[in-house]
Amino acid sequence: MSQVFPRFDGDLYAGEHMVSELASEFGTPLYVYDAKVIESTYRQFTAEFEGIDLLMAYSVKANSNLDILRRLFNLGSGADIVSLGELHRCLKAGVQPERVVFAGVGKTELEMEAALEAGILAFNVESESELRLLNDVAHRMGKRAPVSIRVNPDILIDTGHEYTRTGHSESKFGIPSDRAVDVYLWAAEQPGLEIVGIDVHIGSQILESDLYKRAFNEVLKIANELDRKGINLNFIDLGGGYGIGYSDEDGIAMSTFANAIVPIVKDSGLKLILEPGRFIVGRAGVLITKVLYVKGEGSKKFVVTDSGMNDLIRPSLYGGFHRIEPVQLKDTNASTLVDVVGPICESGDFLARDREMPLPEEGGLLAVHTVGAYGFTMASNYNSRPRAAEIVVDGSEVVLARRRETVDDLIRGELLPNGTLSS
Ligand code: LLP
């Protein structure tokens, strides 16, 4: 696996900057993203699909920082969104609305109205009730809502954790394959709906291309049946989920994926939409945290850092593995078995458990790798802790892409003892 954040003379770098200096300037905990890595990953990804009509709809939930979004939209990316908040971010960051698809099982009327107003490419509809409401809302607004049905193909995949599997019948997502044609036939009759495509998303952190081929063929069968019934689709949206390497494993081989998918897309004559999130930004982010204390008498040591599950919840929530290493490596650091834990008052608050690593010194810095996706976007204010700052490094340039929250940010909007709302 190539090193995204390289080391020279024992010091970790982001772009042309020493990470320890960035931490001195911006404080910790600190999310650092490498813009060049994001941009080159985006370019490599899209290059695999030359010759077919592809819309790359970056999955905003992975990392929704405005600066990252702006950079991706400048490269021509569209967006896969799941909320009014994500729509707002995308519009602020300069997305072309006709490159936006809107997924999610719980869209509200307000969200439908805003997306219709913005003129998005498609609603990926996840239930028959949602479809009825969308028809009513669009009709009332004198519009036709562009619709693609999210089909649940009932494919169970080992994604590493049950919470990231979405394409099997026990999951809340999508409409069962065997209902899809009837639902399309109903939609075709409605004044507020316009059928534009079909959608499937089978899970996240998937490493095998063949599973996508299976999902594609499953929805293609439906598309062909619809064609015979006079309903023509413009696109197949194959969702996201393209896996990356967190420890020693390789990510999904994009060329293998493209080789499996491109010929069948060409044959189908349909446009392809892909919604990668993690694949584009995951490797490009590192969380810098400070070691506050090292404790423990026995064989097991606890390294207490200033970041915890509030900054990065993946280890606690999914047992997610993230490589952790000192920002400055010294020859004297002997390898020891440690738990890297945060300051949150929960036993489940850890960044790593039973990890062999050089024992860091109190006051030293640690880098938690591969956190560009589902790191900051899943951060919370639990225990009333301000969220971390985010910076983007681009070669020699550094921008503060989100300032560190203050304690006043934490109480904004709450009722003060004097009866006013804190601003
Ligand atoms: N499209 C749809 C419909 C999705 O539900 C998702 C992710 C994506 C695209 C993007 O998936 P990606 O390419 O990033 O894997 N928080 C979890 C991952 C949850 C994914 C939810 N949906 C984690 O940290 O692993």
Q: Which two tokens stand for residue 216?
A: 């594609």
Q: Which of 345, 363, 396, 420 is catalytic?
A: 345
> By alpha-carbon position, which residue is closest to atom 12 of ligand 1?
241
Q: Which two tokens stand for residue 207?
A: 């490493």
The answer to whether the CB of 237 is under 6 A from ligand 1 is: no
pLDDT at 160: 74
Å from CA of 278 to ligand 1 middle: 7
The answer to whether the CB of 314 is under 6 A from ligand 1 is: yes
Instruction: Please name the helix (run of DSSP H) or strand (run of DSSP E) that holds residue 124, with its range, or none.
Output: strand 122-125
Residue 90 annotated to the active site: no
Per the listing, tokens 């607004």 go with 141
The count of C-alpha atoms lying within 13 angstroms of the C-alpha of 411, restricted to the half-sphere facing its C-beta, is 8
Residue 332 in this model has a pLDDT that exceeds 70 = no
- The superfamily in CATH containing domain 96-276 is Alanine racemase (3.20.20.10)
Q: pLDDT, tens digit, for every residue of 59-92?
A: 999 999 999 999 999 999 999 999 999 999 999 9
The answer to whether the CB of 277 is under 6 A from ligand 1 is: yes
CATH number at 7-33+282-411: 2.40.37.10
Whether the full predicted model's pTM is greater than 0.85, yes or no, is yes
- Within 10 angstroms of residue 105's Cβ, the number of other Cβ atoms is 14
Å from CA of 61 to ligand 1 middle: 7
Q: Where are the domains of the chain?
A: 7-33+282-411, 96-276
The answer to whether the CB of 241 is under 6 A from ligand 1 is: yes
The answer to whether the CB of 80 is under 6 A from ligand 1 is: yes
Q: Which residues of 383-412 are buried (b: 16+ CB within 10 A; e: fewer)?
A: eebbbbbbbbbbeeebeebbebbeeeeeee
Q: pLDDT, tens digit, for every residue of 97-119?
A: 999 999 999 999 999 999 999 99
> By alpha-carbon position, which residue is closest to atom 4 of ligand 1?
240
Q: pLDDT, tens digit, for every residue of 221-249?
A: 999 999 999 999 999 999 999 999 999 88
Q: 80 - beta bridge partners? A: 59, 101
Q: Which of 147, 314, 158 is nearest to 243 (CA)?
A: 158
Q: Which of 350, 346, 348, 361 is nearest to 290 (CA)?
A: 361
> By alpha-carbon position, which residue is closest to atom 16 of ligand 1?
374
Rounded CA separation 118/412 (Å): 29
